Structure 1
Amino acid sequence: MQERPWLSDDQLRAWVHYLGAHTLVQRALERHLHEAAGISHAEYEILTRLDGAPGRRMRMGELAAVLFSPGSRLNYRITRLAGLGWVRREQHPTDRRGLYAVLTDEGADFLRGVTPGYRQAVRRHVVAPLTDEEFAELGRLSRKLFQHHLARGD
């Protein structure tokens, strides 16, 4: 019996294009943030998550979970952002082991300054090449993959 290929030719082409597009978009956004603001995409996401949180603060464990980031990597990035004055750590008032990451006023000001350029970069690299219908389909398919992996606990 002949073994079935892992992907059909059409599936393989789609997979290779997906991988390439993902890599190039990530690279373009990373490059934009590095050149425009001296930060990584992961650091930008930390700042935006904190900015959207109540009181501009999140427990470190909660932040790691929503970023799908190991605690040690998040701790490294928080230390860097704290060194820049954009984030600070605060002790939880009742849990001695609990720490919060808190976006400072300086961090919020920095984020407000860098966000318009980031949004333009997202529009240029992701939205502009697609029609409105294609972008909606990209959103639908991405949501489906995201929910699938969340349900599996990946």
Structure 2
Amino acid sequence: MQESRWLSDDQLRAWVRYLGAQTLVQRALERHLHENAGISHAEYEILTRLDAAPDRRMRMGELAAVLFSPGSRLNYRITRLAGLGWVRREQHPTDRRGLYAVLTAEGAEFLHRLAPGYRRAVHESVVAPLTDDEFAELGRISRKLFQHHLGRGD
């Protein structure tokens, strides 16, 4: 078996910077959401995915897939959000094993109040430090990494 090649010095510096930047951005967004709403970034993403879904509902399996989240972790988060009154579970009308996560009116209202501050936090953390061209390049690089890990070419 051939040993995999490690990184050149330049690649290693880029890798360490990427890891550090990604960690700092995640921490900044987590801190913003925790301080302003008492929720995690993962919970915020659940709310936004449900808000964008038709009828503000998604099957639990589909939601887990788009969030790249194990079902047990998603179930825990949905239970917490349901306890806050922002999400509810509904049985699928024809599939006894199928469950939907549904964003409640209270959850949508909460999300819409929170969104402007979150957008500012994203802008301050990621957009503002970059030029328009750098931000566009970040998007291209992210898309390429995303497609690679999902096994898609284009």
TM > 0.5 between the two? Answer: yes
Letter in 2 for 1:149: H
CA apart distance, 1:5: 5.7
The yes-or-no answer on 1:90 pairing with 2:90 is yes
- In 2, Cα distance between the equivalents of 1:28 and 1:43? 15
Q: Report the TM-score, using the length of structure 1 for normalisation.
A: 0.95
CA apart distance, 1:142: 0.4
Residue 90 of structure 1 aligns to a residue whose secondary structure is: strand
Letter in 2 for 1:125: S
Q: Which runs of 5+ in 2 are unaligned?
A: none
Q: Name the counterpart of 1:7.
A: 7
- In 2, Cα distance between the equivalents of 1:47 and 1:86? 8
Q: Name the counterpart of 1:132.
A: 132
Give CA deviations for 1:19-76 in whole Å, capped at 9, x if unaligned. Answer: 0000000000000000000000000000000000000000000000000000000000
The yes-or-no answer on 1:77 pairing with 2:77 is yes
- In 2, Cα distance between the equivalents of 1:4 and 1:132? 36
Q: Which runs of 5+ in 1 are unaligned?
A: none
Q: Name the counterpart of 1:148.
A: 148
Residue 151 of structure 2 aligns to a residue whose secondary structure is: helix
The yes-or-no answer on 1:123 pairing with 2:130 is no
Q: Name the counterpart of 1:105.
A: 105
Moved over 3 A (4+): none
Letter in 1 for 2:46: I
- Percent of aligned positions with the same letter in both sequences? 87
CA apart distance, 1:4: 8.4
- In 2, Cα distance between the equivalents of 1:33 and 1:134? 26
- In 2, Cα distance between the equivalents of 1:103 and 1:5? 47
